[in-house]
């Protein structure tokens, strides 16, 4: 009787560990569902929108300009932020605010990306904390899940003029 109970307990623990490992790998390497908060990505992503983030792109270095990514915050490593990639390593980016009369430019250093929110007037991004190390990228947002009337792939940046080709 005790042997039977121990056997069932160890089987249960074994399955729990196996499924826990599978779930960890799925969320770490494949992707997951993310609830976005804050106004920095409006109008593309509203506060409390639910999106799907895939993680394979960051592992295979397939992040491109224009992608929206989930990143460990450079200011607070316990939180994640959602921003659009404006520049990759070696790209020339505009580092000034849209309201600045004189525009300043810089180059993104090797191993870094330049991130900005779509709501430029209400976003803390690379214009404040500088280029972000590529290793802080957690995933790339593929599409919006909620609200249902917005379900689908995300629209292009309303700030396309900020992408420089030099």
Q: Catalytic: 157?
A: no
For 143, other C-beta atoms within 10 Å of its C-beta total: 13
User: Alpha carbon of 11 to those of 16, 19, 23, 153: distances in Å?
Assistant: 8, 12, 18, 42
Asked if 70 and 32 count as a contact pair (C-beta separation under 8 A), the reply is no
**95 — phi, psi (to 5°)?**
-95, 0
Which of the following is catalytic: 40, 53, 57, 126?
40
- Return the structure tokens found at 109: 């250093």
Parallel, antiparallel, or unpaired: how do β-strands 112-116 and 132-133 relate?
antiparallel
Q: Catalytic: 83?
A: yes
- List all residues 6 or more positions away from 3 whose beta carbon is below 8 Å from its beta carbon: none
**30 — phi, psi (to 5°)?**
-95, -55
For 89, other C-beta atoms within 10 Å of its C-beta total: 14
**136 — phi, psi (to 5°)?**
-85, -10
Which of the following is catalytic: 53, 57, 83, 157?
83
User: Which residues are part of the catalytic machinery?
Assistant: 40, 83
């Amino acid at each position: 009787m005790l042997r039977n109970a121990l056997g069932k307990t160890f089987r249960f623990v074994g399955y729990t560990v196996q499924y826990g490992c599978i779930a960890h790998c799925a969320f770490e390497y494949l992707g997951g569902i993310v609830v976005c908060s804050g106004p920095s990505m409006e109008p593309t992503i509203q506060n409390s929108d639910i999106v799907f983030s895939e993680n394979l792109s960051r592992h295979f270095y397939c992040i491109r300009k224009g992608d929206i990514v989930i990143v460990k915050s450079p200011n607070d490593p316990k939180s994640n932020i959602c921003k659009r990639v404006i520049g990759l390593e070696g790209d020339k980016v505009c580092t000034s605010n849209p309201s600045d009369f004189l525009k300043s430019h810089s180059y993104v250093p090797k191993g870094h990306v330049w991130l900005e929110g779509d709501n430029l007037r209400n976003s803390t991004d690379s214009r404040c904390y500088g280029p972000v190390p590529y290793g802080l990228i957690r995933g790339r947002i593929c599409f919006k899940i909620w609200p249902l009337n917005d379900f689908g792939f995300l629209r292009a940046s309303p700030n396309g003029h900020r992408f420089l080709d030099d």
